[in-house]
Amino acid sequence: MLSFLGRSVIQKTVTLFFVSVVSFLIIHLAPGNPSQVDPMNPKFTPEMVERFQKEFHLDKPLYTQYLFFYRDLFTGKTVSWKDNQSVLKKIWERFLNSLPLFIVGTILTWTLSFPIGIRSAIFRGGVYDRSATFLAYLLISIPGFFFAYILIIFVVTHFHVPVIGMETFGLGASSWPHVVMDRVWHLLLPSVLGATGGIAVLSRYVRSQMLEVEGQDYVRTAKAKGLSPEQVHYKHALRNALLPFVTMFGLILPGLIGGSVIIESIFSWPGMGRMAYEAILARDYPLILTVNFVSAVLVLAGSILW
Partner 1 sequence: MTTRRVLIFVPTIIVLILLQSYFWVPTYDQQTRGNPERLHEYIAASIGDASILNPTLSADSASSDINSKVFEGLIDRDEDLRFRGRLATSWKVHEEAYFYVDESVDIPGLGKAGAEEIVNLIKEAKKEGHASEPGLKASLDLIEKISIIPPREFTVIRRVKDPKNEKREAEVKIRIKAPQRIKFTLSRVDQDLFRNLSKLFGSNYFASFKGEKFLSTEPEVDKKNLAAYAGELVPATEHNPALVFHLRPNVRFHDGHVFDAGDVRFTFEAIMNPKNLSPRIADYEPVKAVEVIDPLTVRIIYKRLYSPAIGTWGMGILPEHLLNDQALKAEAVRLGKDPNAFSMRHSSFNRSPVGCGPFVFRAWKSDQYINLERFDDYWDGPPNYDSYMFRIIPDLLTQEMEFYAGTIDNYGVQPHQVKRLKTDPRFQSFSGTSFGYTYIGYNMRRKPFDDPRVRRALGMAIDVDKIIDYVLYGQGESMTGPFVKQTDYYNHKIRPLPYDPQGALKLLEEAGWRRNTEGWLEKEGQKLQFTLITNSGNDLRKAILAIAQDAWKQIGIDVRTDLLEWSVFLQERVDKADFDALILGWSMGIEPDLYQIWHSSQTHPHQLNFVGFKNREADDLIIKIRQEYDHDKQVRYCHRLHDIIAREQPYTFLYVGKWTAILDKRIVIKKVDDAGNVHYKKIKPTKTGNYSFYFNKWIKLREAPGFEPDG
Does 191 contact partner 1 by CB under 8 A?
A: yes
DSSP secondary structure string for all residues of 207-219: HHHHHHHHTSHHH
Does 135 contact partner 1 by CB under 8 A?
A: no
Does 187 contact partner 1 by CB under 8 A?
A: yes
Residue 31 host element (H or E): none
Residue among 222, 237, 215, 256 nearest 103 (CA): 256
* Smallest separation, CB 20 to partner 1 (Å): 31
* Smallest separation, CB 99 to partner 1 (Å): 15
Return all residues near 268 (Cβ < 8 A) that are at least 6 apart: 164, 165, 274
Closer of 168 and 216 to partner 1 (Cβ): 168
Does 170 contact partner 1 by CB under 8 A?
A: yes
Phi, psi of 165, rounded to the nearest 5 degrees: 90, -175
Size of site (CB under 8 A) for partner 1:
44
Does 175 contact partner 1 by CB under 8 A?
A: yes
- The HSE-up count of residue 42 (CA atoms within 13 Å, CB side) is 0
Largest separation between any pair of C-alpha atoms in the chain: 84
Closer of 91 and 116 to partner 1 (Cβ): 116
Window of 3-11, 63-71, 100-108, 280-288 that interacts with partner 1 by CB under 8 A: 100-108
Does 142 contact partner 1 by CB under 8 A?
A: no
* Smallest separation, CB 43 to partner 1 (Å): 9
DSSP secondary structure string for all residues of 120-187: HHHTTTSHHHHHHHHHHHHHHHS-HHHHHHHHHHHHHHHH----SSSS-TT-TTS-HHHHHHHHHHHH
Does 150 contact partner 1 by CB under 8 A?
A: no
Does 149 contact partner 1 by CB under 8 A?
A: yes
Closer of 45 and 75 to partner 1 (Cβ): 45
Single out the residue of 268, 281, 301, 304 in contact with partner 1 (rule: CB under 8 A). Answer: 268
Distance of CA 91 to the CA centre of its chain: 14
Does 114 contact partner 1 by CB under 8 A?
A: yes
Does 107 contact partner 1 by CB under 8 A?
A: yes
Single out the residue of 15, 65, 174, 240 in contact with partner 1 (rule: CB under 8 A). Answer: 174
Does 74 contact partner 1 by CB under 8 A?
A: no
Q: Is the dihedral of CA 135, 138, 144, 150 positive or negative?
A: negative
Residue among 166, 178, 182, 151 nearest 269 (CA): 166
Does 173 contact partner 1 by CB under 8 A?
A: yes
* Smallest separation, CB 73 to partner 1 (Å): 26
